[in-house]
Structure 1
Amino acid sequence: MSVTKDELLKIATSRSNELIELTAKLIRINSENPTGSQREVIDFVKKYLEESGIEAEELKANEAFPCVLAKIGNDEGPSIILNGHVDVVPAGDLSKWRFDPYCGEVTDTLILGRGTSDMKAGVAGILFAMRLLKESEAPIKGNVRLHIVSDEESGGQYGTKWLCEQGYSDQADACIVAEPTSNFTIEIGQKGSNELVLKAHGTSAHGSLGNYKGDNAIIKLTKVLQNIGRLHEIRGQFSLDQAQALENSKYIAASKLEMPGIENVIDHVTASVGIIQGGTKLNMVPDYCEARVDIRLPIGADVTEVDRAIQTIIDDSDVDGVEYDVTWKNFGNSTSIDAPIVQAIKKYAEEIWDIKVLPAYQWASSDARYYREKGIPTIQYGPANTEGIHSYNENVDIQDVINANKIYLLSLCDLLGIN
């Protein structure tokens, strides 16, 4: 007799300790990027899949950043991708941690360590969901495809981006990225991330004559940079069917970030000066200065308008010898709020947590964009305590990990015809 959705849920509940131990084991593997190696954690994932009866394949565009692919099911129905990354940001100053960042300690309510929220708990959740589906011989009408990558924290060019470019996401009907979110938020869209480079050219002279001779490139560029905030005035363009998600997003931003006007981060361009480099020696008037600006484009932003605004800022700064370079590569992207993958995750997140769950747009960006660029409805939903992400004393709630796994499993049941 075929296993039912309710029976799968009971199995997941009865074996939740296995999920927690899997998460802890992943945490205990130091997989820092860019300072460490991904070999051990990738080998662990492959072995776990093989022990689960799932054939795993290692692929790599770069020896240092291998990917693991796997598939269960058949080609007679929808194809769902589960994506996660196993690399983590460096632990940083160990004296600022209250515990060993790679202890993987399990307390009464928490799992401790670097990567618990970003995003090894999410990876454990999708791995465990695949194992349960495989071992139970669930009657899948379609297939589940696993994409585990090891370089998301360094830009993803050898991971999800490469997999999509090579066709490994082709024919997919939906994708779940187990990146960290709040339990009441399903991320269905995000801003595009681009780099603006501003370059100022001046004339060198001896520093002792700097007020009279030479043309200081640093001074020139600062006049431009003090007006870069004008780019914030540019808004994205949202369609009527995006109105609810936009409203949800602004509410979440205002609630989480608690800064006056912070909700505008969702639908306005943001420009953050991240790096300034200029000058050769203290006693020389600098003849060159360069600034790199993080430009985030909301959904529907017109890059022609942004280009015009950048040039206008330079012109209005009343300096010569300043130019800019920007290649627009990443744009705001989204999945319809009515997509089956969104509605399935929302249904079971609300059922499991007994709260209202909001599909919303994110102010940052992630690997989800590569699937959306391929036309694949893609969401992010994963266990997390967001305050520890990319910071110290990272942890995740045990209940969050257990519930996320159940939500993945039940959503896959709905999408793949398991009643």
Structure 2
Amino acid sequence: MPATKKQLHDQVLAHKQDLVDLCSVLIRIKNQSPLDPQGPGIDFVRAYLAQHGIDSERLVAAAGEEYPVVYARMGSDQGFHVVLNGHVDVVPAGNPDGWDFDPFGGEVRDGKILGRGASDMKCGLAVLLFSMGVLSDAGADLKGDIRLHVVCDEEIAGSGTLWFCENGYADGADAVIVGEPTGHDTIEIGQKGILHLTLTAHGTPGHGSTGNYKGDNAITKLARVLVNVDDLTAVPGHYLPSQERALANSRTIAERTIDHPKVANVIDHCSANVGVIQGGGKINQVPDLASAQIDIRMPYGCRHEDVVAAVDALLAKSGVSGVEAGYEWISEGNYTDDDSVLVTSVKKNIEDVWGEECLPAYQWASSDAAHYRALGCPTIQFGPANNAGIHGYNEDVDVEDVVHAAEIYMLSLCDMLGIE
């Protein structure tokens, strides 16, 4: 008799220590992007799958031999098609003195798994691998297939997931779950688009000793523009009536997460961060060139012409001439309907396991989920997380969160793949 949904759920709980151990082993693999080789992490993923009878392929994707991807598939051609996506790389740990524990120790202490990548996303990846392993070991009868996409360049804004999407590995997917960190009170169902704005100021060089009277300082000219950059946060998105529920949820999640009286605007308006400033060559010379790179995140329905108009108004308000704007449009705002089978199944299982309300919501950032949504695939992000340590010191995640995430993944996969 094929395994039932209850039996598979019981198997998750019976082997939860194996899951925790898997998290620790993954954290001990030191593969900071771009500092460390990514091969060991990729090789471990393939070895783990092989231990559970799952064939996989190591593929050289767009980023080349140093950043390969792993593809695995289990199940049948007919039925519901699910993609599981995760990344094995982590951001650099930084100064070791900033940590209260070894960032690559994978220690489990006081109900927490400790180390770089615990939340982003070694433990989320462990849940994906563990779920497939349990299904394979049980010989589960899947009414459809599960495709695993693992990349190792996500933390350097890599192209691994885009390559999967461009080369047919997500074709026909009915649901995509990205195991990025969210915590259990939300499912990420939409994200902002990305625009990179470059402001370039042109001036006239001169000797620094007469800089207040002669020459035209490109740096100070640029500065007079940048003091008004927050004006760009007034540019709104444009949402459909069917999105109102998710939009309200998104504001609630933002207010829970970030302590700022106007933080709800980060969901449905543009954000603008001046990330890089360059200018000048010598302290005693009036600079004739300066530039600033600004990361703008655009909400769903934000029109390009609205952003351009806001930048033009910003330049006019600053009262300077000789400043040019350049635009690199990276991605558009994107979302999955909150009443899709994928969202409703995961939401129900989260609430059943945790006994708490879960709010499907839009994210103020962006991720690889956008590539799947561009193909028309319903896509969410859901994974265990303690947000405080992500990309910082003392990253960790609760053991309870990891185990519950595995339960939720298993129950949701059973729902979608016809296991009763």
Task: Give the TM-score normalised by the residue count of structure 1.
Answer: 0.99
Residue segments in structure 2 that go unaligned for 5+ positions in a row: none
Cα deviation per residue 1:231-283 (whole Å; 9 max; x = unaligned)? 11111011111000000000111121121111110000111111110001000
Q: Note the C-alpha offset of 1:170.
A: 1.1
Q: Distance in 1 between matches of 2:48 and 2:375?
A: 29
Is the Cα–Cα contact under 8 Å of residues 232 and 271 in structure 2 kept in the other structure?
yes
SS at match of 2:93: coil
Is the Cα–Cα contact under 8 Å of residues 183 and 401 in structure 2 kept in the other structure?
no
Is the Cα–Cα contact under 8 Å of residues 214 and 285 in structure 1 kept in the other structure?
yes
Q: Note the C-alpha offset of 1:108.
A: 4.0
Residue segments in structure 1 that go unaligned for 5+ positions in a row: none
| Correspondence 1:343 to 2:340 | no
SS at match of 2:371: helix
Q: Note the C-alpha offset of 1:60.
A: 1.8
Q: Distance in 2 between matches of 1:49 and 1:387?
A: 31
Aligned 1:225-240 pairs, distance under 5 A: 225-240=226-241
Q: Distance in 2 between matches of 1:169 and 1:264?
A: 33
Q: Distance in 1 between matches of 2:117 and 2:325?
A: 37
Q: Note the C-alpha offset of 1:165.
A: 1.6
Aligned 1:104-123 pairs, distance under 5 A: 104-123=106-125
SS at match of 2:9: helix
Is the Cα–Cα contact under 8 Å of residues 121 and 401 in structure 1 kept in the other structure?
yes
Is the Cα–Cα contact under 8 Å of residues 9 and 407 in structure 2 kept in the other structure?
yes
Q: Note the C-alpha offset of 1:169.
A: 1.2
Is the Cα–Cα contact under 8 Å of residues 156 and 367 in structure 1 kept in the other structure?
no
Q: Distance in 2 between matches of 1:21 and 1:238?
A: 44
Aligned 1:117-266 pairs, distance under 5 A: 117-157=119-159, 159-266=160-267
Is the Cα–Cα contact under 8 Å of residues 198 and 293 in structure 2 kept in the other structure?
yes
| Correspondence 1:3 to 2:3 | yes
Q: Distance in 2 between matches of 1:364 and 1:144?
A: 27
SS at match of 2:325: strand
Aligned to 2:102: 100
SS at match of 1:53: coil
Cα deviation per residue 1:286-331 (whole Å; 9 max; x = unaligned)? 0000000010101111111111111121123221111011022211
Q: Distance in 1 between matches of 2:377 and 2:119?
A: 25
Aligned to 2:374: 373
Q: Distance in 2 between matches of 1:273 and 1:12?
A: 45
Cα deviation per residue 1:40-69 (whole Å; 9 max; x = unaligned)? 111000000111100010112211111100
Q: Kindly provide the amino acid, as one letter, of the partner of residue 37 in structure 1.
A: P
Cα deviation per residue 1:137-174 (whole Å; 9 max; x = unaligned)? 111100000001000000022x1112112221111111
Aligned to 1:33: 33
Aligned 1:67-106 pairs, distance under 5 A: 67-106=69-108
Aligned 1:321-340 pairs, distance under 5 A: 321-340=322-341
SS at match of 1:324: strand
Cα deviation per residue 1:174-197 (whole Å; 9 max; x = unaligned)? 100000012110000011122100
Q: Distance in 1 between matches of 2:419 and 2:378?
A: 21
Aligned to 1:307: 308
Cα deviation per residue 1:90-138 (whole Å; 9 max; x = unaligned)? 0001001011100001124011110010001000001011011111111
Q: Distance in 2 between matches of 1:105 and 1:3?
A: 34
Q: Note the C-alpha offset of 1:223.
A: 1.2
Q: Distance in 1 between matches of 2:44 and 2:83?
A: 20
Q: Note the C-alpha offset of 1:37.
A: 1.1
Q: How many matched pairs?
A: 418
Aligned-pair identity in percent equals: 51
